[in-house]
Chains A and B, each alone.
Chain A
Amino acid sequence: MATIELKQVAKMFGTTYAVKPMDLTIQDGEFVVLLGPSGCGKTTTLRMISGLEAVTEGNVYLDGEDVTWRPASARDVAFVFQFFALYPRMTVYQNIAFPLESTHESKEVIDRRVNEVVDMLRIRPLLKLKPGALSGGDKQRVALARSLVRRPACFLMDEPLGALDAEFREAMRAEIKRLHNEQHATTVYVTHDQIEAMAMGDRIVVMSNAVVQQIGTPAEVYYDPQNLFVANFIGSPGMQLMEGDYSAGNAHMPGGNVYKVPQAWRAALDREIGQGKVVIGFRPEAAEISADGPFTGMVFGIDLHGAYVVLHVKLVSDQIVQVRAPRDHTYGLDASACFDLNHDMVRFFNPTTQQAIFPEASA
């Protein structure tokens, strides 16, 4: 088991940064997710940890030891790729045993260790098959088994569920997490899917444009995003954002609606914004439909989500925000709708700096 530490690690391709200097410390046994849209630098970061990519600046430490210039093969990490990378001519058993062949272990030892991981992943019926005969989910299980069998100090996973059908993905997600709960191997997991990140990560590193935007637990990135990017990226849908003019405790929305800012935020807003534009952010579940709510709009669309409905409300500014509402109610299309926001779940951002505004520590 191992800790991983990145100190001012950066990567340049030509003259552009793929990853700008970043610091990250991963505790022993922690499950950390690198999350971001494609091209944000998350996979490059993972590859620098693995040694598949040389760093341009900074240092990588595994278990406190500087491994910056050590090749991938000498780092004791296991890499799980998006596209399974199984050897098509070998059986499942041979595929799993393959990493051990190079270690010159005895046949019995190899057999025992293969059997251990096979039971762990429940793939015993597949042992004699060739990869071509497996479903996507089973292929990824075998790939996982092949990396587990080496008992590496840490796992690096590059979108291992990206190539699976949606129906397998939910189940495999739970399975990988369960495996981690049993093994407690340090894991760095790359994905562009925020649901995966939220469901699996002990901590999430949100990246965009080669820059780390926020590092935090799922609850932190969901409830208290550092900036507008994280607010919009995390959640399905992302945080709903409305722009208004702030002055003296009130946010004046386009079309004449006035929102009274909760008391706890006033001091911070007075200091950060004073008088000017402010972005109000809220999650759909933080809104409550109520006839005297301070925000008014028209129902543009109604989504049934099984247990509840989501109303798409078109504001006077022509902007659409999503509001969660109970199912036992009928809403007319193009009818007017008013809603209020839960005081504890409303957030504010400075549109100029894109950064979140936080209330005074005392509040």
Chain B
Amino acid sequence: MSQVSLQNITKQFKSVTALSDVTFDIHDGEFFVLLGPTGAGKTTTLRIIAGLTKQEEGSVTFDGEAIDLLPPADRDVAFVFQQYSLYPTMTVYDNLAFPLRSPMRKVPEPEIKTRVTDIAAVLRITHLLDRKTAKLSGGEMQRVSIGRAIVRSPRMYLMDEPLSNLDAKLRESLRVELAHLQKTQRSTTLFVTHDQIEALTMADRIGVLDRGKLIQVGTPEDIYDRPATVFVAQLVGSPKINLLRVSCAGEELSLDDSAYRVPMEGVCAATEAGADGLPPAFILGVRPEDVQLSAGGTFIGTIVLVEPLGVETLLHIRLDGQVVICTVPGIAKARLGDVVHFDVNKDRLHLFHPVTGARLNA
């Protein structure tokens, strides 16, 4: 396994910038997740590392050695595609054996047989070996795809949303298996996804991409607890973070269209002191689990929508002109129109700049 490093990668497609000046390292044995919405440049990054797409600028190094001029076949990486990567004219066995039979490796057939059989046992697809891949279910196909990647020991794994075409229950079980496999093998993996749950649950570190720019790199806890921008805050967490319009009033934030105030030391004073054209208005982010119902709560609102999801219930609470979503455990017996008191967890507030979206509080 290798330590992989991307330096100042830039890629243009005609007039569109797919990636601009992207730099990050993936440590040896690390599970690195690139998270971002469609069109953020995640797949392009993978393809540049694999050599399937050429970058205009920047360099990719494996263990300090630049690989930019090597064709895909010589880079020794394994790629798991979102779909369409099993050869429909071959059996599962031949698909798994395919990378080993390449002219680069020419592994002898008896050894191929041992390795394919071992991998099939790990992924519980032994009973499928003689089947044509077109006859497999979605979950089986993706197991075989993963098998084809791990059957050889590449320098790194590149995975392009391998779970996104599976139904929810299957996706979850394969996700846990994949994470366990990676953790036990300590294989260097770059995993691309738009699903924040996959990113939070699997990653050692997450890189958040938006429109070709790397916004934040950090552990799942960093990303969730201290999002660097409003965009990151909205990307992770389900239900989504509440974003409230606020403005500064001394050491407090005052909620727009409302008389409520939230204490926020330091930030307001600092930004007001800095004062080079900064507007007095801000965006306050509050995660739904940090809104806590309590009989003596400071805030008083009316329930406008109840969504019982099972494990928790989402209460949409109207607070004067704005709506706050709050999660309560289990299926709550709340009714439309109920008046509720609540507090917000003051240690877990996120304050963002209304124009740049950058985080303002520590």
Contact = CB atoms under 8 A, between A and B. Distances in A.
- A and B touching (Cβ–Cβ under 8 A): yes
Interface of A: 165-167, 170, 173-174, 177-178, 181, 193-195, 198-200, 218-219, 222-223, 234-238, 283-285, 300-307, 310, 312, 320, 324, 333
A316 to B, nearest CB: 17
Contact of A200 (B200, B224, B307, B329): B307
Contacts of B240: 170
Nearest to A327: B221
A238 B311 CA distance: 10
B310 interface: yes
Interface string B182-200: 0100000000001101001
Contacts of A199: 307-309, 314
A218 B40 CA distance: 37
B305 A181 contact: yes
Q: How large is the interface on B (under 10, 10 to 19, 20 to 34, 35 or more residues)?
A: 35 or more
Interface string B270-298: 00000000000000000101000000000
Contact of A303 (B201, B221, B311, B330): B201
Interface string B233-260: 0001111100000000000000000000
A181 B305 CA distance: 8
B331 A218 contact: yes
A165 B239 CA distance: 15
Contacts, number: 94
Interface string B322-340: 0000010111000010000
Contacts of B287: 306-307
B105 interface: no
Interface class of chain B by DSSP = mixed
A285 B236 contact: no
Given A236-B168, A237-B169, A320-B176, A304 B201 contact: yes
B224 A306 contact: yes
Contacts of B180: 300-301, 333
A304 B221 contact: yes
Nearest to A302: B201
A312 B176 CA distance: 8
Given A300-B176, A304-B224, A222 B310 contact: yes
14 contacts: A174-B305, A218-B308, A219-B331, A222-B310, A235-B310, A236-B309, A284-B311, A285-B329, A285-B330, A301-B183, A303-B200, A306-B287, A310-B201, A312-B176
Nearest to A239: B310
Interface in B342-361: none
B310 A234 contact: yes
A323 B240 CA distance: 23
A300 B173 CA distance: 11
B37 A305 contact: no
A190 to B, nearest CB: 17
Contacts of A236: 168, 172, 309-311
Given A199-B309, A222-B310, A236-B168, 18 more contacts: A170-B240, A174-B305, A178-B305, A181-B304, A181-B336, A195-B310, A198-B308, A199-B307, A199-B314, A237-B172, A238-B169, A285-B329, A301-B176, A301-B179, A301-B183, A305-B201, A307-B287, A312-B176
B36 interface: no
Nearest to B316: A174
B310 to A, nearest CB: 4
Scoring A167, A302, A307 by chain B CB atoms within 10 A of each residue's CB, the highest score goes to A307
Contacts of A238: 169
B114 to A, nearest CB: 24
A283 B195 CA distance: 23
Nearest to B314: A199
B7 to A, nearest CB: 30
B311 A304 contact: no
Contacts of A305: 197, 200-201
Contacts of A218: 308, 310, 331
A125 B331 CA distance: 38
Contacts of B329: 285
Given A167-B37, A199-B308, A200-B307, A304 B220 contact: yes
